[in-house]
Amino acid sequence: MKGLAGIFQEAGKEILVEEIDVPELEEGSVLIRNMGGAVCGSDLHGWRGDNDKPMRKKRFVGGHECAGVVDRLTGGISTDSMGRPLEEGDRVVFPFFFPCQRCYQCSHGEMHACTYRGHPRMRGDSWEDYPYCDGGFAQYYKLPRNHWIFKAPEEIPDSAMVTANCSLTQVAWALHQAKLRFGDTVVVQGAGGLGIYACAIAADSGASQVIAIDGQDARLSLASRCGASSTIDMKEFPTPQSRVERVMELTRGVGADVVVEVVGVAAAALEGLDMVRAGGRYVDVGNISGGSYELPGSKVILNQTQWIGIMHYNPWILDAAVNWLVRVKDKYPLFDLVSHTFPLTRINEAFETAEWVGKEGGSSATRVVVQPWA
């Protein structure tokens, strides 16, 4: 059995679309017919070559933000991870990383902090296993044995399902880890896919203020419709200092209770630290490969900033997040988050459209989705 997949070569080179094998299914695994792969910031980092990890220097099937339809169930699986009946043909969402369930952190129920020791793969994109058709930019995606899988609510369109397992749930987890409380003031640095979801979740959780920062009009406008009470346009406030001053002005000189970084550049983290109130929380989500920065230790300590690094999440929150999405579907236009779709054969155009570095103003992409069956 074969399927089409987008093959990443070295950074800067064309993404190839080739037909490759679908991986063998061991008992208990699930084969997904993938309905779409979104271009996430971390995919862009790899595509640009922002990081130079060895895994980025060989061919692999990219993509992780995806969802699909159950193509084949094995091992007598008859329910999803919440005990609901599950059949072939059902639309499902699933975490894009595979906690080993055999390590210290997993044993403590901290699947987000799994070290993946002794486990063949952390993610579905086949950095290790290529050539198999199993990344987010491929027609098929394999869930290993004992992986979490959740039936998607009928009300959610396919495009919103695709963005659920990374951008939506990643920020839901970030705000959960930041212990967001009723009345908190929240700053969201970056109003792309993650930022828009962060604004809506913060607003719907009872934040008294949600301040979104971005340089692109379309994103700021969507942020305003999705819960942001104020926006800071980087064209109007071009320097870090001017943006910090604006946050201070909006929070009456106090600073924000919670600042969420979803930009993916190191400079944003340093800027954001100055926006946190004394004793507040800084949540760094986007900087997974945005480069290193020197943490100003004294500043963090004197301000008593709780600095929280975020990667992955505990699987339950993915199901909670899609159910939340159903409840707020008429309140925030979150189904408009996907701004562009491309068939897999035009994946290179999809990446060029999603690229935001060097772009200012005008219409811009919030989320670009590649459709492997279009």
Site for Zn ion contains 114 (CB under 5 A): yes
Structure tokens at 319: 């199901």
CB 32 within 8 A of CB 143: yes
CB of 40 to Zn ion, least distance (A): 3
* C-alpha 213 chain-centroid distance: 18
Number of residues binding to Zn ion, judged by CB under 5 A? 9
Q: Which of residues 29-88 bind Zn ion (CB under 5 A)?
A: 40, 42, 65
Of 150-158, 162-170, 231-239, 242-250, the segment contacting Zn ion by CB under 5 A is 162-170
By beta-carbon proximity to Zn ion, the closer residue of 211 and 321 is 321
The pairing of strands 140-143 and 30-38 is antiparallel
Site for Zn ion contains 171 (CB under 5 A): no
By beta-carbon proximity to Zn ion, the closer residue of 114 and 310 is 114
CB of 123 to Zn ion, least distance (A): 10
By beta-carbon proximity to Zn ion, the closer residue of 65 and 214 is 65
Pick the closest to residue 339 from 66, 39, 79, 25 (CA basis).
Answer: 39
Site for Zn ion contains 103 (CB under 5 A): yes
Distance CA(135)–CA(65), nearest Å, equals: 9
CB 166 within 8 A of CB 64: yes
Site for Zn ion contains 354 (CB under 5 A): no
Distance CA(351)–CA(28), nearest Å, equals: 34
Site string for Zn ion, 304-333 (x = CB under 5 A): ------------------------------
Residue with the two structure tokens 């992780």: 64
By beta-carbon proximity to Zn ion, the closer residue of 22 and 93 is 93
Q: How far apart are the first and last CA of the chain?
A: 19
| Residue 79: Cβ within 10 Å count | 12
Pick the closest to residue 171 from 272, 313, 358, 30 (CA basis).
Answer: 313
Those residues with Cβ within 8 angstroms of residue 251's Cβ, 6 or more apart along the chain or in another chain: 185, 209, 277
Site for Zn ion contains 106 (CB under 5 A): yes
Pick the closest to residue 199 from 334, 48, 368, 301 (CA basis).
Answer: 334
Site for Zn ion contains 100 (CB under 5 A): yes
Site for Zn ion contains 133 (CB under 5 A): no
Of 98-106, 217-225, 247-255, 308-316, the segment contacting Zn ion by CB under 5 A is 98-106
Site for Zn ion contains 166 (CB under 5 A): yes
Of 1-9, 103-111, 335-343, 357-365, the segment contacting Zn ion by CB under 5 A is 103-111
Q: Which of residues 11-30 bind Zn ion (CB under 5 A)?
A: none
**Contacting residues toward Zn ion, per CB under 5 A:** 40, 42, 65, 99-100, 103, 106, 114, 166
